[in-house]
Amino acid sequence: MKNESKTRGIYVTKPYLPEMEEYVSMLSSIWESGVLTNGGAYHQALEQELCAHLGIGNLSLVCNGTLALELAIQALEIKGKIITTPYSFVATAASILQKGLEPVFVDIEDGGFNLDPELIGDALDGRVGAIMPVHVYGIPCRRERIEEIARDRGLKVIYDAAHAFGVELEGKSVLNWGDASTLSFHATKVFHTFEGGAVVCRNPELRRQIELRKNFGYENWEVHCLGSNAKLSEAQAAMGLVMLRHLERIMNLRKKRFELYCARLENVTGIKTLIIPGGVKHNYSYFPILVGAEFPLSRDELFDRFIAQEIYPRKYFHPAITDLSPYREFKIISRHKVPNARRAAEAVICLPLYPDISESDVNRICDVILQARQG
């Protein structure tokens, strides 16, 4: 008989997968049509169903969230510099540099995770063309102040909403904010299409420009602009359609585990959990904790304690983008002071959270923290 470990690894996330038969049954239509990509029936159906589900008007599916950002930058014809945050996944900054623009990093809010709008003014000059905030961990940015500054200075606003699928404020989708919002449908996200993403636009004409640029600039067999190949395949769209059938269950499971974490950790001295602001319908995409000076272990010592127990959380996002080795070479990055982002990067651990994580596994994770607290 095969020897098995007394414990099993718990990873920070894992993809939600429906029963294989449910997905495979969708593939027969692809075989019958012979259409594998280029906006087939599943692609069109998924765009329509996502618009209805999310309460948005104009959505263009693409093959990943990074290209969604790049296409939005390109379609909005942004030049020069883009103000953004150092506390995000590296794709946020990479999309700016890939389009030949300069990122200007503004620190995050003290006590929060999102870009601080009150610091934007100090970073503005005549070469700044846009602001790219991120709804980190699905907590909405301070939209009113960001867009007030953008209006006053004639700037575009692109929200990186990779964490914000389904998030609403006062009953309305945050995806309708700004000139565009971008989504990631990576396998580990709340909603996935294996790999994928989308650009959400308030303006139908901007969506048309995205559609052109994701297909080499083609329209009516003529190339009208510079473009790329960013199309979502029919097989990916089929997975998205299946995922939508399960989304209510996925959200409910995430919420239950999120609330269990909160209940067990809310009174632990030195551990701060994510606070969902009033009026926000959250998606429970991540469960970050901040390890403070009052906790007996440092963040890294607690992280190592998890690893020793075969629990594999992540230091999301460590280090801050400004401290990543490929980015330190850019002078525009190295000269910006971002103390709040660096403090967060040194303090955060994202605990495992996904629909199928069991109550016992969440308790096991919390026990590691509580035992460390007790010494």
Confidence of residue 230 (pLDDT cuts 50, 70, 90): very high
* Domain locations in the chain as residue ranges: 20-242, 247-374
Cβ atoms of 183 and 203 within 8 Å: the answer is no
String of DSSP letters for 336-371: ---HHHHHHHHHEEEEP--TT--HHHHHHHHHHHHH
Predicted local confidence at residue 337, as pLDDT: 86
pLDDT digits (tens, 9 = 90+) for 194-215: 999 999 999 999 999 999 999 9
Q: 247-374 has which CATH code?
A: 3.90.1150.10
Confidence of residue 283 (pLDDT cuts 50, 70, 90): very high
Q: What angle do CA 212, 218, 223 make, to 5 degrees?
A: 115
pLDDT digits (tens, 9 = 90+) for 106-143: 999 999 999 999 999 999 999 999 999 999 999 999 99
Predicted local confidence at residue 326, as pLDDT: 77
Q: Phi, psi at residue 160, to the nearest 5°?
A: -80, 105
| CATH number 3.40.50.1400 is the correct assignment for the domain at 20-242 | no
Confidence of residue 2 (pLDDT cuts 50, 70, 90): very low
Predicted local confidence at residue 332, as pLDDT: 54
Q: Which residues contact 260 (CB under 8 A, 6 or more apart)?
A: 359, 362, 363
> What are the E-state strand segments in the chain?
10-11, 59-62, 81-84, 102-105, 128-132, 156-160, 168-169, 172-173, 180-184, 197-201, 218-219, 222-223, 271-273, 280-281, 287-291, 311-312, 348-351
Confidence of residue 331 (pLDDT cuts 50, 70, 90): low
Cβ atoms of 131 and 150 within 8 Å: the answer is yes
Residue 76 clears pLDDT 90, i.e. is over it: yes
Cβ atoms of 230 and 214 within 8 Å: the answer is yes
